[in-house]
Amino acid sequence: MPELPEVEVTRRGFADRLAGARVLGVELGKPLRWPLGVDPRSLVDRAVKVVTRRGKYLLIHLDEGLLLLHLGMSGSLQFAERLPPRDVHDHFELDTTRGRLRLHDPRRFGAVVYADTLDAPVARKLLGGLGVEPLEAGFDPHRFHAALQQRRASIKQVLLAGDIVVGVGNIYASEALFMAGIRPTLRADRVSRPRALRLHAAIVQVLQKALALGGSTLRDFSSAQGESGYFQLDAMVYGREGQPCRVCGSPIKGIRQGQRSTFYCPQCQKR
């Protein structure tokens, strides 16, 4: 699933070029996770103001209303002046005066939803429960620790929940916990203040590195220019079960937590 770095890499790949464009048409393929919520013809002639991101949602702000776009499990966006003919897995296309934006999603877990404003019920439903952005000033280390003290679930599961800090997906949670030296099965309320501060710093560092490397491409993620990410090649623990730890040489262990794969070093990451 594309996580925060992949979504931000995607946004950066087309946001500046799309801003200022005027909508010429909207084409829909097979139904996605949620309906668009508006007649596609009503979007024609609206202007794109800016493209922002909230968690793993891309927000295409129009001069009237906005589109909330989620890549789902396997979605990717392309943006170009001209694109090849749509295929069976191309389910949304925004034709504008500056090019075409196309959502390709083989599993159809993605979504494009229209909202009148950010205060509209559908926008509040999708965005209202999201935590702070980890790469913005609001991600305070002391508030982060205080929030962890209220949770009894494992620290890995709390990070993935996204209501304390948003966008720390499976890959990046495993990597940040390794960097901070914390076992992923440790209960969140048992993470001490010094360790929480190290984890806070590790989250920021891991996500910044992922952005610099274009995100992670494990299966089919590609940027809006069709480029793959390379973070996974530098991963310390993720996807490395049985391989030696790059720090201590101990075999990396793999477990399942909440139906997700977790990887950690039993020597470097303490309970």
Which of 3, 6, 8, 93 is flagged as catalytic? 3
Which of 11, 17, 46, 56 is flagged as catalytic? 56
Active site residue 3: yes
Active site residue 102: no
Which of 22, 33, 98, 260 is flagged as catalytic? 260
**The three-state (H, E, C) secondary structure of the chain, written as one string:** CCCHHHHHHHHHHHHHHHCCCEEEEEEECCCCCCCCCCCHHHHCCCEEEEEEEECCEEEEEECCCEEEEECCCCCEEEEECCCCCCCCCEEEEEEECCEEEEEECCCCCCEEEEECCCCCHHHHHHHCCCCECCCCCCCCHHHHHHHHCCCCCEHHHHHHHCCCECCCCHHHHHHHHHHHCECCCCEHHHCCHHHHHHHHHHHHHHHHHHHHCCCECCCCCCCCCCCCCEHHHHCCCCCCCCCECCCCCCECEEEEECCEEEEECCCCCEC
Active site residue 2: yes
> How far apart (Å, rounded) are the C-alpha atoms in residues 77 and 145?
36
Which of 2, 5, 134, 184 is flagged as catalytic? 2
Active site residue 133: no
Return the active site residues.
Answer: 2-3, 56, 260
